[in-house]
Amino acid sequence: MKKILSVMAMVIALTLMCNNTYAQDAVTLKYNFKEGKAYKTVTKVITTTAQSMMGQEMKFDVTLDIQTDMNVTKVDAEGNASMLINVKGNMEMNLPAAAGGKKSEEIKNEAISATFAPDGKSINQSQVDKDGNNVTVKDYIKLTELPKKALIKGDTWQDKRVDTVANSASPIAVITTTDTKYTVVGKEMVDGKELFKIAYDGTMEIAGKGSQMGMEMVMEGTGATKGFYYYNPALSIVVSTEGLIEMNTNINVSGPQSMTIPMSQTIKVTSTTEAL
């Protein structure tokens, strides 16, 4: 009888140890911004494009370097953080000679007011235009979105979404449908800090319509995404990201002149964030 009780006690002890191990290893992925704190994010985006039009192959690339300074002005009871954000940077374009060749364009300091939820989703964003009016802008600044739940190594989750990008610089309003799987790689020591690594990969479908100079344009294509990010549990923020997007699309043009323009794009994105 004593032997049975001893075995039962050992089983209970092991169960408690396992539960404690789970609690120690689990990390809740959400933002916990602090009122009065400042954060700086440095981002590099390299886009390489190849397309064929009327039998002519064209290749060009664009490099975007951005610094985003975020100052947290208020955090409410639900953890929603209001911020004043300043953006500045530079864009280097290596275009075909017919399109102007090499160009450089400064991204001047732009002030944005924004509020983000603890999962990183944008609640609202606004910007003061050249006339001094407060104008609502949609997702001008994006944070890495988090699942807001406790996770351990090996856990996965799926994210499906539809996004629309439409602006005056492009004649086509583009709709992307993405299906992304996230996997918890686990804890890693990076520069002396214990971080939580999340890897992801997914697929995307691209569709769009538009018109320009009497021509109708329809875009369709597919793509793939992969990458990872590091979450710092001590700061409750994503401190670095690295991602790759590859897309293959066709733009079908009809009107006075009909043609199909095949295009492939590779977009590499890296970013680092630090608390100041």
Structure confidence by residue, pLDDT tens digits, 210-260? 887 778 888 899 999 999 999 999 999 999 999 999 999 988 888 777 888
Residue 11 falls within a domain, yes or no? no
Nearest to 151 by CA among 201, 116, 196, 188: 196
pLDDT at 261: 85
Residue 223, in any domain of the structure: yes
Burial class, 95, CB count within 10 angstroms (exposed 0-12 / middle 13-18 / buried 19+): middle
Helix (H) or strand (E) holding 21: helix 2-25
pLDDT of residue 3: 37
In a domain, 267, yes or no: yes
Q: Residue 146: what pLDDT?
A: 95
Q: In whole angstroms, how far apart are CA 242 and each of 190, 245, 272?
A: 15, 11, 9
Res. 25: pLDDT tops 80:
no
Could you tell me the pTM of the whole model?
0.83
* Rounded Cα gap, residues 126 and 31, in angstroms: 21
Contact predicate 240/272, CB 8 Å: yes
pLDDT at position 212, please? 77
Question: Does residue 8 lie in a domain region?
Answer: no
Count structural domains, the chain.
Answer: 1
**Per-residue pLDDT tens over the stretch 47-59:** 999 988 767 788 8
User: What CATH number corresponds to the domain at position 198?
Assistant: 2.30.230
In terms of C-beta density within 10 A (0-12 exposed, 13-18 middle, 19 or more buried), how is residue 214 classed? exposed
Backbone φ/ψ region at 236: left (φ over 0), alpha (ψ -120 to 50), beta: left
> What is the enclosing helix (H) or strand (E) of 4?
helix 2-25
Angstrom distance (rounded) from CA 123 to CA 127 = 14
Length of the chain: 276
Q: Please state the separation of Cα 140 from the chain's center in Å.
A: 12
Instruction: Please report whether residue 162 resides in a domain.
Output: yes
* Percent of the chain with pLDDT strictly greater than 70: 86
Kindly state the average pLDDT of the residues 99-123. Answer: 88
Is 193 part of any domain? yes
Report the pLDDT value the prediction gives residue 10, as an integer from 0 to 100: 42
Give the Cβ contact number of residue 243 at 10 Å. Answer: 17
Listed residue (156, 60, 42, 126) closest to 99, CA to CA: 60
Using pLDDT thresholds of 50, 70 and 90, give the confidence band for residue 2. very low
Structural domain contains residue 171? yes
14 occurs within a structural domain: no
The domain of 162 spans 29-275
Q: Given this model, what pLDDT does residue 19 score? A: 44
Cα angle vertex 30, ends 21, 271, to 5°?
110
